[in-house]
Amino acid sequence: MPLLSRPSYHAEVARTRDAVATQLSALWLGLSNYRDPDVDRFVRVAVPKVQAGQIRTARLTAAHLGGPVLARELVVKTRKVAPQVEYRRPANSLYTALSQGQSFSDALSLGSQRLESLVATDLQLALVAQSQHSLSAGRITHYRRVLTGSENCSLCRIASTNVYSTADLMPIHGHCDCTVEPVYDPADYTAPEIDPADLVLSGLREADVSDGGSVESLVSVREHGELGPVLGWATDRFTGPSNF
């Protein structure tokens, strides 16, 4: 019996993500001049706040799935880049936009969007790492993706119909907020059906879901040098870490 029910777990994970994103957004928008010393101060405050959110997310996940909480260093170091480098990226986005002739307000907004994406991805990576740890500790061999009801894009909808081995880390994508549930007997699992109309409403082009092929064939997993497995469309070109 989980210590935290699925609805409570989803709510607490979302609350944690929103709290960190809100705090860092206020900090980012409140900087005085966005020069290097200001950005350095932002990074020094931002990194511990993100790591606290990652740890809380891991603990919530362990309370939901069971098993021990993953060691702190494994929860907060899920990217193959130092967080002090990562959380300068909103400033890099701002500088690039300004160098391209965009207005300061537009450049600042791009930096905010980059920051939001970084936070969402880092907390999701912590959730994924703890999920795999909990399932492995429980000797559970298979899992499924669970839609939380907040993002639920076409990628997640398609991926949620399959069963996966716990040996494979759950691929993420930008702003992914899927969670994990154990599948105790894959032979008894019945995949939910996907309504093509729902896929169109969640962002997939109508032509893509009406050509007679399998919708699962539209999705692929690629190895991202910084994040690990990343979910995407089979027709996507890999663009590097800038989207996360």
pLDDT of residue 172: 78
Calculate helix-pair angle for 104-137, 36-65, nearest 10 degrees. Answer: 30
Q: Does 171 share its domain with 82?
A: no
pLDDT of residue 227: 77
Supply the range of the domain harboring residue 199: 140-244
Q: What total number of domains does the chain contain?
A: 2
Q: Are 17 and 119 in contact (CB under 8 A)?
A: yes
Q: Does 15 share its domain with 118?
A: yes
Residue 172 in 3-state DSSP?
strand
Q: Does 16 share its domain with 120?
A: yes
Task: Profile the chain (244 residues) by mean pLDDT over runs of 10 residues.
Answer: 84 97 97 95 98 98 95 92 96 97 97 96 94 93 85 76 82 82 84 64 54 64 78 67 61
Using the 3D structure, point to which of 99, 119, 139 is the last residue of a domain: 139
Q: Does 134 share its domain with 191?
A: no
Using the 3D structure, point to which of 82, 105, 139 is the last residue of a domain: 139
pTM of the full structure: 0.86
Q: Does 11 share its domain with 87?
A: yes
Q: Are 65 and 2 in contact (CB under 8 A)?
A: yes
Q: Does 90 share its domain with 28?
A: yes
Using the 3D structure, point to which of 107, 122, 139 is the last residue of a domain: 139
Question: How far is Cα 23 from Cα 54, in angstroms, rounded to an integer?
Answer: 14
Apex 138 CA angle, 135 and 139, nearest 5: 85
Q: Does 96 share its domain with 44?
A: yes
pLDDT of residue 182: 92
Residue 146 in 3-state DSSP?
strand
Q: Does 77 share its domain with 168?
A: no
